[in-house]
Structure 1
Amino acid sequence: MPSLLFRRWRRADEGRTWCRRVCWLDLTIGDLLGREILVSATQQESWVALLEDKKLVELMFDRPDQGRLIGDIFLGRIDAVLPGIQAAFVDLGTGKAGFLHVGDLNPSDIDGDIDDNGNGSGEGGRGRRRQRKLPPIQDHLKKGQEVLVQVTKEAIGTKGPRLTAEISLPGRFLVYMPHASRVGVSRKIDGRDQRSKLRKMAQGVLPPDSGGMIVRTVSEEVTKKTLEKEFRRLHERWQKIRRTADSMKAPASVHGEAKLISGVIRDLFSDKFEALRIDSKAVYNEVRDYVQSVDPDLLDRVHLHQGAVPLFDKYGVGEEIQKAFQRTVRLKSGGHIVIEPTEALVSIDVNTGKFTGKGK
């Protein structure tokens, strides 16, 4: 079962819609005040809660035994190539064969352009592509062939994980894409001048024929020296991944993505959050060491929670979780929403209830 993310209801004027349960992490948080991150961790499980104005808006949960694969890199073996759907099934050694579509092969293997802006997916490693003509997958992959792939979507039910051969390695300030050739900037960074400045800075950091990168949102005020340092670290990681893959026999796991807490701190924690509160001394020390290395100015916002009252109880998170997973969700307007999961879909029934509309 993949990691879960719970998203509380938000007003329409915040530009968000509802979502009760989705896989892993896909966050776009508005510039609101009073934001905090709460981390509750034990050896058995990890919880991360995001608060806005003391109210729970996001909840993430992970267990070591859940077998989450998204972001992990495998040396796989082609089980079957299906020209009819232009896809291949790849044995990862995890029990379920992964699905690799022709559009997810390396750009270097296929003629065609990649979006110069590289910002189609915001923070992700794969930008939106222009329309291109793809050659038959059977011209590039054969049964029994070994291929280095990355998981982009967890397995669901009887379906195996979705894969890509376009490897991306996320850091705090940039995403390194060894098989790409362009530099992009996250679309969440406002201002054409700022985006142009960051793109030129990134282009100056990237050596010729060494891949591509996307500058992430948190890099708005980053220096060239910081980008260079992170690029070198990610490039060295990629070289290590290649050496490891060369020494292995498929199918095999080559590299594991950062787990829940590490990923949240890397991707989210910035000066837009007032505080990061952690109830585990060990995790607190690890987070402080990481923040010290990437953004020392944020150290005074990292706090160790101590006291008789558990962290989540102190901030009312436990009570909010219980309310969230009820079948009926009450709205402030007087209406309510009824959520009914089924095997094929999740039905949502919106009832006006006591709400009669705004009077003139």
Structure 2
Amino acid sequence: MKGTTILLDHINGREAAALMVDGKLHDLLIDPPEDAAPGVGAIAWAVADRPLKGQGGLTLQLGNGLTGYLRRAKDIAPGDAFWVQVSGVAEPGKAIPVTPDLIFKSRYAIITPHKPGLNVSRSIREEGERDRLLAIAHDSRAATEEYGLIIRSSADGADEDDIHRDIFEQCKIATAVLEQRDGPPEWLLGEDSAHVLAWRDWTDPDEIVTEDGSFVAHGVLEAIDAALSPRQPLSGGGHAYIEATRALIAVDVNTGADHSLAAGLKANLALVRDLPRQLRLKGLGGQITLDLAPMPKRDRKQVEDAVKKSFRQDGSDVVVAGWTPLGHLELTRKRDRLPLAQVWPRS
């Protein structure tokens, strides 16, 4: 099956969306269980609790008995109240990471209440299209006068009325949220559902399938079972084990039946090229340690460059920390969704 297909389905009454590229599962979104904490993008009216000495941050009360953690806490005193947005996924038992820099993100536009200005995505490089989109942004000033506005790359070539409608809708949501200016901690806006996220972030598909049961018909369930397995095959005959521990994500690379002099380098390159997809499907982030297949030290630079290129093309927020004395390559990746093992219903 060639091309890009978006599949919208339901799993145990929860929305689920799958992105298939040339018949291979590229991304997967599933609404979390009802008892899960609000996810990335949710907004709360928060009250500062107590500073964490030596860390430069503080805890906050978010409502519903949940605690948040704000990394940047300069000039914030206990008892201060303000808006915050969930910026990541917390490990079990830890405070939810939040930021005071709110964004309201939709398919074509991002509204930034605390960062004024009009901008167009830098990935749109054709001058005529940039001028068209800037004109649309200026035409929307009646709605965005108090806010900043970023036109997303997905607006490239989009209908002007659709872009205006998107901007106005996000401004309405922002205004409704920002009306809250006092009172106890309270959740004001939930995170987007799986189907909304798919519409927002997966643009220009060749086909969209909305019938219930599409996951079965298109082999998504089998692909999810494969993604849940620690053992992942690599192109060229090697394989890797990707396993989450309490402390970190451990990745072990093996060459398989290939015993040639270049086997280690080939297996390592195959792993890093597919690693962003694997981590995204598994919903894994945090500290990541790559126990790579044996290879000469002179090849480390090639592998490190391949890691950076792979995650850059994927758009993932990752930092390459470097090599350990034992020859492991360490990364950190933002936790932006719950692990697949937590959201996928067990039979």
Match of 1:74 in 2: 44
When the two structures are superposed, what TM-score results if normalisation uses the length of structure 2?
A: 0.67
| Cα distance in 1, alignment partners of residues 251 and 12 from structure 2 | 36
**Structure 1 counterpart of 2:61, from 77, 91, 107:** 91
Match of 1:343 in 2: 246
**Deviation readout 1:308-329 (Å, 9 max, x if unpaired):** xx42222222222222222322
Counterparts of residues 219-238 of structure 1 (less than 5 Å): 219-238=155-174
Whether the aligned pair in 1 keeps the contact of 2:112 and 2:149 (CA below 8 Å) is yes
Gap runs ≥5 in structure 2? 264-347
Counterparts of residues 128-207 of structure 1 (less than 5 Å): 137-138=74-75, 141-207=76-142
Match of 1:60 in 2: 29
* Aligned amino acid, residue 19 of structure 2: L
Gap runs ≥5 in structure 1? 1-31, 104-136, 281-309
**Structure 1 counterpart of 2:9, from 40, 46, 57:** 40
How far did residue 183 of structure 1 move? 2.1
Query: The residue matched to 1:92 in structure 2 has which SS?
Result: strand
Q: How large is the Cα RMSD of the aligned pairs?
A: 2.6
| Cα distance in 2, alignment partners of residues 182 and 318 from structure 1 | 44
When the two structures are superposed, what TM-score results if normalisation uses the length of structure 1?
A: 0.65
**Deviation readout 1:283-322 (Å, 9 max, x if unpaired):** xxxxxxxxxxxxxxxxxxxxxxxxxxx4222222222222
| Cα distance in 2, alignment partners of residues 237 and 339 from structure 1 | 40
| Cα distance in 2, alignment partners of residues 317 and 335 from structure 1 | 24
Match of 1:261 in 2: 195
- Percentage of identical aligned residues: 25
How far did residue 232 of structure 1 move? 2.4
| Cα distance in 2, alignment partners of residues 98 and 57 from structure 1 | 31
| Cα distance in 2, alignment partners of residues 83 and 186 from structure 1 | 39
How far did residue 63 of structure 1 move? 3.2
Q: 1:205/1:42 Cα in 2 relative to 1: closer, same or farther (>3 Å)?
A: same
Check if 1:279 corresponds to 2:197: no
| Cα distance in 1, alignment partners of residues 153 and 42 from structure 2 | 23
How far did residue 249 of structure 1 move? 2.1
**Deviation readout 1:132-168 (Å, 9 max, x if unpaired):** xxxxx13xx2211211111111222332111111211
| Cα distance in 1, alignment partners of residues 192 and 173 from structure 2 | 13
Q: 1:62/1:228 Cα in 2 relative to 1: closer, same or farther (>3 Å)?
A: closer
**Structure 1 counterpart of 2:185, from 244, 251, 263:** 251
